[in-house]
Amino acid sequence: MRPRATSMARGRVHSPVMQEPYAPIPRALAELALGQAAQAGASIPQLDLLRARLYSPPPASGDLVERASAVASALGIGDAWRKIESARFTFIDLFAGIGGMRLGAELAGGRCLQSVEWDAACQATYHQNFGETPDGDITTMKPRSKRFKAHDLLLAGFPCQAFSIAGRKGGFEDTRGTLFRDVAEVIAAKKPAAFILENVKGLVLHDKRRTLPVILNTLIGSAVKYHLVAPSLDAKLSARGWAVLNALDFGVPQHRERIFIVGFRDKKAADRFAFPTPTTPGDARRTLQDILEDGPSWNTSVDARHFISDKYLTGLKRHRAHHESKGQGFGYEIRSHDGHANAVVVGGMGRERNLVQAQKPAAAGTEELLKSARNDSGVRRMTPREWARLQGFPEWFQPHPTDTHGYKQFGNAVAVPVVNAVVEEVLRALEGTYGR
């Protein structure tokens, strides 16, 4: 049975969709707790007990729950364990990709009820890591009221598309034929307590600054009727409803700016919300040395296939010299180990703008994978696992087995720590709603 719903802040909004008492524990939270326990010096029997509690089919026995809670308390991992034992909130994950937004929400104590992603390779990676295959084409999932489950928080990293606004007011009617329209329809039909939408920073300037106003007007208009949050950051990076956040400020060594749009069903919650401030400002920022496989933190050799050929490196140098002669800044870059990465992106020079100097010889036995001679300077591309770390994905997360898909999927993903920080602020604005 579903537990009795508690009232939201001062009873002015509808009750949350509480988690089922026998729901499985989100993997991101379970693995976080196990990792913290190991770092705290847990013995093998203690880890086995915690693992049994976290991964045994629900419902777990009362005795197991109590013994595991006692071990967690003794090890000092109470914060993660409290999120595990409390029913905080539920969410759905639209345009899910490989689950970056899901991971950020799970780490805040949420449980995913439904995910949607049409790309087959992304679906395969998602299933490999979460044991679920997302629904496919969101445009066919109608009626919205029946095809989508009730939830507390809607997450969506929707594609950036231009709207047709000639002669109109820039609202809901102008979104026809776009995937954002599908997101707006789900919000209007299911009425979650809040939503978080993510997109590239270029959305601010997209289509001569016409796209973003249409999105915002749609969200506050009569068809959806949500309240957008007030600006809380630098005026150039924040306005009503949105802010641009940089992953570099939230614990990963990657300069990656993305826009986040946040809205609430309840105006008072919207007024309480503030976008997160940097958790790793200035000197506290991490560097590439923290994530490189052949660096001191991981100390492993990289397969030879990630070392670029001498012929290709010569071509890259020629390409950059050509653009520099024209006063242009295009071309490959070898990033400093003590610095950070450029944004990892799909296509173009995405990988070549994040080359690094190898710190170890290539892994033994992998030379035969090369089609031509390696460059003798030790220049290599980062690996898909290193891109995963740049995006804040946990070590247990398994990349797609094909490098091409791995780079594409992580390049399209969202930085997990940034999503987590935004979700935590959403919960703070909904204080008193989800067991906080």
Which sequence positions are flagged as catalytic?
A: 160
Between 44-55 and 62-75, two packed helices, what is the crossing angle to 10 degrees? 130
Contact in structure between 51 and 10 (CB atoms under 8 Å): no
Half-sphere exposure of 218 (CA within 13 A, CB side): 27
Distance CA 229, CA 297 (A): 40
Backbone CA torsion sign across 415, 27, 96, 424: negative
Distance CA 214, CA 173 (A): 10
Could you tell me the end-to-end alpha-carbon distance of the chain, in angstroms, rounded to an integer?
23
Between 27-39 and 78-85, two packed helices, what is the crossing angle to 10 degrees? 150
Token representation of residue 93: 């994950």
Half-sphere exposure of 355 (CA within 13 A, CB side): 21
Contact in structure between 175 and 184 (CB atoms under 8 Å): yes
Distance CA 276, CA 246 (A): 11
Residues in CB range of 62: below 8 A, 6 or more apart: none
Contact in structure between 154 and 422 (CB atoms under 8 Å): no
Tell me which residue has tokens 């364990």: 81
Contact in structure between 414 and 389 (CB atoms under 8 Å): no
Distance CA 339, CA 332 (A): 16
Tell me how many degrees the CA angle 277-112-131 measures, rounded to the nearest 5: 120
